[in-house]
Amino acid sequence: MSAISGEKTALLRVWRGGPDQEGRYDTFKVPYEDGMSVLDALRWIRRHVDSSLAIRYSCINANACKTCMAVVNDRVEYTCTARLEPTTVTVKPLPKRSVIRDLVTDTTPAEEKLESFNQERGQ
């Protein structure tokens, strides 16, 4: 954790783990600026504290790619448009999806998985 004394901060509790793991929450103190998104905070963590944090995003804030979804304070949100507040924010992977690692889940549509499974079996 790092933050300059006196500045506003947000505490991010971020779920960490892999497939079929119980996982844990790591807490990060992130410098807060008005207008920040939850994705901005996650990217700050990766850049300044823990580069191993697995997150997924593409368009950053255009709300176009839909790849940044996660559960933020018990609500499914696009992390790029979810506003950060200078409080404690809990972020965890999407429910009902296989976790690949940390906040990254398998978002392959079920019908594509079935096609892939059938192709592997020669059907």
80 lines the binding site for ligand FES (CB under 6 A): yes
Which neighbouring-strand residues pair with 83? 37
User: CB of 69: closest distance to ligand FES in angstroms?
Assistant: 7
Alpha helices in 49-107 (DSSP H): none
67 lines the binding site for ligand FES (CB under 6 A): yes
User: CB of 49: closest distance to ligand FES in angstroms?
Assistant: 20
Q: 109: exposed, middle or buried (C-beta count within 10 Å: 0-12, 13-18, 19+)?
A: exposed
1 lines the binding site for ligand FES (CB under 6 A): no
63 lines the binding site for ligand FES (CB under 6 A): yes
Within 10 Å of residue 16's Cβ, how many Cβ atoms?
Answer: 18
Do the strands 9-16 and 69-72 form a parallel or antiparallel pair, or are they unpaired? unpaired
User: CB of 68: closest distance to ligand FES in angstroms?
Assistant: 3
Is residue 32 within 8 A of residue 8, CB to CB? The reply is yes
83 lines the binding site for ligand FES (CB under 6 A): no
21-60 binders of ligand FES (CB under 6 A):
57-60
Within 10 Å of residue 30's Cβ, how many Cβ atoms?
Answer: 26
User: CB of 66: closest distance to ligand FES in angstroms?
Assistant: 5
CB-nearer residue toward ligand FES: 68 or 103: 68
The contacts of residue 109 (CB under 8 Å, 6+ apart) are none
Q: Which residues bind ligand FES (CB under 6 A)?
A: 57-60, 62-68, 78, 80
